A and B are shown apart, each in its own frame.
Chain A
Amino acid sequence: DAMVIQNPRYQVTQFGKPVTLSCSQTLNHNVMYWYQQKSSQAPKLLFHYYDKDFNNEADTPDNFQSRRPNTSFCFLDIRSPGLGDAAMYLCATSRGSGQGRNQPQHFGDGTRLSIL
Protein backbone atom coordinates (compact mmCIF):
# COMPACT_ATOMS: atom_id res chain seq x y z
CA ASP A 1 0.00 0.00 0.00
CA ALA A 2 1.15 3.51 -0.79
CA MET A 3 1.84 5.34 2.41
CA VAL A 4 3.71 7.88 4.49
CA ILE A 5 6.23 6.37 6.90
CA GLN A 6 7.84 8.14 9.81
CA ASN A 7 10.83 6.89 11.71
CA PRO A 8 11.33 6.45 14.52
CA ARG A 9 7.89 6.34 16.17
CA TYR A 10 9.39 7.43 19.48
CA GLN A 11 12.52 9.53 19.91
CA VAL A 12 14.18 10.62 23.11
CA THR A 13 16.89 13.25 23.07
CA GLN A 14 18.68 15.43 25.56
CA PHE A 15 18.11 19.11 26.04
CA GLY A 16 20.18 20.95 23.43
CA LYS A 17 21.25 17.82 21.53
CA PRO A 18 20.42 17.96 17.80
CA VAL A 19 17.86 15.46 16.58
CA THR A 20 16.60 14.47 13.13
CA LEU A 21 13.22 12.98 12.33
CA SER A 22 12.60 11.32 9.00
CA CYS A 23 9.66 10.83 6.68
CA SER A 24 9.33 8.84 3.49
CA GLN A 25 6.45 8.45 1.07
CA THR A 26 5.53 6.04 -1.69
CA LEU A 27 2.66 8.20 -2.99
CA ASN A 28 4.87 10.27 -5.31
CA HIS A 29 3.23 13.45 -4.05
CA ASN A 30 4.77 16.85 -4.82
CA VAL A 31 3.96 18.46 -1.51
CA MET A 32 5.33 17.38 1.86
CA TYR A 33 4.48 18.97 5.19
CA TRP A 34 5.82 18.93 8.74
CA TYR A 35 3.46 19.59 11.64
CA GLN A 36 3.99 19.88 15.37
CA GLN A 37 1.12 18.61 17.52
CA LYS A 38 0.96 19.05 21.26
CA SER A 39 -1.46 17.20 23.50
CA SER A 40 -5.14 17.88 22.77
CA GLN A 41 -4.30 20.51 20.16
CA ALA A 42 -4.64 20.77 16.41
CA PRO A 43 -1.57 20.13 14.27
CA LYS A 44 0.51 23.29 13.77
CA LEU A 45 2.19 23.64 10.39
CA LEU A 46 5.94 24.24 10.61
CA PHE A 47 6.79 24.26 6.89
CA HIS A 48 6.06 22.58 3.60
CA TYR A 49 7.81 21.76 0.36
CA TYR A 50 6.29 22.03 -3.07
CA ASP A 51 8.76 19.88 -4.98
CA LYS A 52 12.05 21.52 -3.91
CA ASP A 53 10.51 24.89 -3.06
CA PHE A 54 10.65 25.38 0.70
CA ASN A 55 7.92 27.35 2.45
CA ASN A 56 8.49 28.30 6.06
CA GLU A 57 5.68 29.44 8.34
CA ALA A 58 6.30 32.89 9.78
CA ASP A 59 6.12 31.69 13.37
CA THR A 60 8.30 28.59 12.99
CA PRO A 61 11.36 29.00 15.23
CA ASP A 62 14.79 29.12 13.57
CA ASN A 63 15.65 26.08 15.66
CA PHE A 64 13.62 24.00 13.20
CA GLN A 65 15.06 23.19 9.79
CA SER A 66 14.08 20.82 7.02
CA ARG A 67 15.64 19.02 4.09
CA ARG A 68 14.09 17.30 1.14
CA PRO A 69 16.82 15.51 -0.84
CA ASN A 70 14.37 13.90 -3.26
CA THR A 71 10.64 13.41 -3.86
CA SER A 72 10.36 10.50 -1.45
CA PHE A 73 12.18 11.75 1.63
CA CYS A 74 11.91 14.71 3.95
CA PHE A 75 13.74 15.38 7.21
CA LEU A 76 13.04 17.59 10.19
CA ASP A 77 16.11 18.82 12.06
CA ILE A 78 15.82 20.38 15.48
CA ARG A 79 19.16 22.03 16.14
CA SER A 80 18.93 22.61 19.88
CA PRO A 81 15.79 21.03 21.33
CA GLY A 82 14.24 22.71 24.33
CA LEU A 83 11.70 21.28 26.75
CA GLY A 84 8.95 23.11 24.87
CA ASP A 85 9.74 21.13 21.72
CA ALA A 86 8.45 17.89 23.21
CA ALA A 87 5.51 16.98 20.99
CA MET A 88 4.24 14.68 18.28
CA TYR A 89 5.71 15.54 14.88
CA LEU A 90 3.57 14.63 11.91
CA CYS A 91 4.63 14.37 8.30
CA ALA A 92 2.01 14.63 5.55
CA THR A 93 1.87 14.68 1.77
CA SER A 94 -0.54 15.87 -0.88
CA ARG A 95 -0.76 16.06 -4.63
CA GLY A 96 0.38 19.40 -5.98
CA SER A 97 -1.73 19.60 -9.08
CA GLY A 98 -3.45 22.68 -10.50
CA GLN A 99 -6.43 21.74 -8.33
CA GLY A 100 -4.23 21.47 -5.27
CA ARG A 101 -6.77 23.12 -3.03
CA ASN A 102 -9.11 20.16 -3.04
CA GLN A 103 -6.50 17.52 -2.41
CA PRO A 104 -6.53 15.92 1.04
CA GLN A 105 -3.37 15.35 3.01
CA HIS A 106 -2.04 11.89 3.79
CA PHE A 107 -0.42 11.61 7.20
CA GLY A 108 2.19 9.37 8.71
CA ASP A 109 1.68 8.02 12.23
CA GLY A 110 4.05 10.58 13.68
CA THR A 111 7.16 10.63 15.81
CA ARG A 112 6.67 11.37 19.49
CA LEU A 113 9.66 13.38 20.69
CA SER A 114 10.64 13.52 24.34
CA ILE A 115 13.30 15.86 25.74
CA LEU A 116 15.28 14.89 28.83
Chain B
Amino acid sequence: AQSVTQLGSHVSVSEGALVLLRCNYSSSVPPYLFWYVQYPNQGLQLLLKYTSAATLVKGINGFEAEFKKSETSFHLTKPSAHMSDAAEYFCAVSETGGFKTIFGAGTRLFVKA
Protein backbone atom coordinates (compact mmCIF):
# COMPACT_ATOMS: atom_id res chain seq x y z
CA ALA B 1 0.00 0.00 0.00
CA GLN B 2 1.13 3.49 -0.75
CA SER B 3 1.94 6.04 1.93
CA VAL B 4 3.75 9.33 2.38
CA THR B 5 5.55 10.71 5.41
CA GLN B 6 6.17 14.40 5.87
CA LEU B 7 9.06 15.20 8.15
CA GLY B 8 8.30 18.15 10.38
CA SER B 9 4.81 19.34 11.20
CA HIS B 10 6.06 22.94 11.35
CA VAL B 11 8.81 24.71 9.41
CA SER B 12 9.79 28.32 9.98
CA VAL B 13 11.95 30.35 7.59
CA SER B 14 12.85 33.99 7.14
CA GLU B 15 11.57 35.91 4.15
CA GLY B 16 14.03 35.42 1.29
CA ALA B 17 15.44 32.18 2.70
CA LEU B 18 15.32 28.74 1.10
CA VAL B 19 12.19 26.70 1.71
CA LEU B 20 12.63 22.93 2.07
CA LEU B 21 9.68 20.72 2.95
CA ARG B 22 10.44 17.02 3.21
CA CYS B 23 8.37 14.11 1.95
CA ASN B 24 9.22 10.43 1.74
CA TYR B 25 7.00 7.91 0.03
CA SER B 26 6.39 4.20 0.18
CA SER B 27 5.12 2.43 -2.90
CA SER B 28 5.51 -0.99 -4.46
CA VAL B 29 4.95 0.43 -7.94
CA PRO B 30 6.21 3.60 -9.60
CA PRO B 31 4.36 6.30 -7.71
CA TYR B 32 2.40 9.29 -8.85
CA LEU B 33 3.20 12.05 -6.36
CA PHE B 34 1.69 15.45 -5.68
CA TRP B 35 2.22 18.51 -3.54
CA TYR B 36 -0.82 20.56 -2.54
CA VAL B 37 -1.01 23.87 -0.67
CA GLN B 38 -3.84 24.97 1.60
CA TYR B 39 -4.31 28.57 2.69
CA PRO B 40 -6.48 29.32 5.74
CA ASN B 41 -10.18 28.63 5.20
CA GLN B 42 -9.62 27.41 1.65
CA GLY B 43 -9.48 24.10 -0.14
CA LEU B 44 -6.31 22.40 -1.34
CA GLN B 45 -4.64 23.67 -4.49
CA LEU B 46 -2.27 21.64 -6.64
CA LEU B 47 1.31 22.95 -6.59
CA LEU B 48 2.86 20.28 -8.79
CA LYS B 49 2.74 16.60 -9.70
CA TYR B 50 5.25 13.90 -10.59
CA THR B 51 4.19 11.40 -13.23
CA SER B 52 7.59 9.93 -14.25
CA ALA B 53 8.19 12.25 -17.22
CA ALA B 54 10.99 14.16 -15.45
CA THR B 55 12.56 13.87 -12.01
CA LEU B 56 12.63 17.63 -11.42
CA VAL B 57 9.14 19.02 -11.47
CA LYS B 58 8.38 22.73 -11.58
CA GLY B 59 5.14 23.98 -10.11
CA ILE B 60 3.32 27.19 -9.47
CA ASN B 61 4.50 30.11 -7.32
CA GLY B 62 8.19 29.26 -7.87
CA PHE B 63 8.07 25.86 -6.15
CA GLU B 64 9.74 22.75 -7.47
CA ALA B 65 10.25 19.18 -6.29
CA GLU B 66 12.78 16.51 -7.15
CA PHE B 67 11.89 12.83 -7.32
CA LYS B 68 14.71 10.66 -5.96
CA LYS B 69 13.98 6.96 -6.27
CA SER B 70 17.11 5.92 -4.39
CA GLU B 71 16.00 7.97 -1.39
CA THR B 72 12.24 7.44 -1.89
CA SER B 73 11.89 11.18 -1.51
CA PHE B 74 9.97 13.99 -3.15
CA HIS B 75 11.04 17.11 -1.28
CA LEU B 76 9.52 20.50 -2.09
CA THR B 77 11.77 23.54 -2.44
CA LYS B 78 11.62 27.24 -3.23
CA PRO B 79 14.79 29.34 -3.45
CA SER B 80 13.39 32.43 -1.75
CA ALA B 81 10.44 32.45 0.63
CA HIS B 82 7.78 35.10 0.42
CA MET B 83 5.35 36.07 3.15
CA SER B 84 2.52 34.84 0.95
CA ASP B 85 3.96 31.30 1.04
CA ALA B 86 2.80 30.87 4.64
CA ALA B 87 0.31 27.98 4.45
CA GLU B 88 -0.14 24.24 5.04
CA TYR B 89 1.55 21.95 2.53
CA PHE B 90 0.50 18.37 1.87
CA CYS B 91 2.48 15.71 0.06
CA ALA B 92 0.30 13.01 -1.51
CA VAL B 93 0.50 9.79 -3.51
CA SER B 94 -2.08 8.19 -5.79
CA GLU B 95 -3.54 4.84 -4.82
CA THR B 96 -2.59 1.95 -7.10
CA GLY B 97 -5.45 0.87 -9.30
CA GLY B 98 -7.90 3.42 -8.02
CA PHE B 99 -8.73 7.08 -7.84
CA LYS B 100 -7.98 7.81 -4.22
CA THR B 101 -5.19 10.07 -3.00
CA ILE B 102 -3.28 9.33 0.20
CA PHE B 103 -2.23 12.52 1.97
CA GLY B 104 0.62 13.11 4.34
CA ALA B 105 -0.04 14.74 7.69
CA GLY B 106 0.92 18.16 6.38
CA THR B 107 3.63 20.71 7.15
CA ARG B 108 2.75 24.22 8.22
CA LEU B 109 5.15 26.79 6.80
CA PHE B 110 5.73 30.00 8.72
CA VAL B 111 7.57 32.90 7.05
CA LYS B 112 9.16 35.52 9.26
CA ALA B 113 9.68 39.09 8.13
Contacts and interface: CB of A to CB of B under 8 A. Distances in A.
- Chains A and B belong together in one complex: yes
Interface of A: 4, 6, 31, 40-43, 45, 48, 50, 90, 92, 94, 96, 100-110, 112
A46 to B, nearest CB: 11
A41 B99 contact: no
A3 to B, nearest CB: 10
Interface string B95-110: 1111111011110100
Interface of B: 9, 32, 34, 41-46, 49, 51, 88, 90, 94-101, 103-106, 108
A43 B103 contact: yes
A110 B106 contact: no
Given A42-B106, A109-B41, A110-B41, 13 more contacts: A40-B9, A43-B44, A45-B100, A45-B101, A48-B99, A48-B100, A92-B43, A96-B99, A101-B32, A104-B46, A104-B49, A106-B46, A109-B42
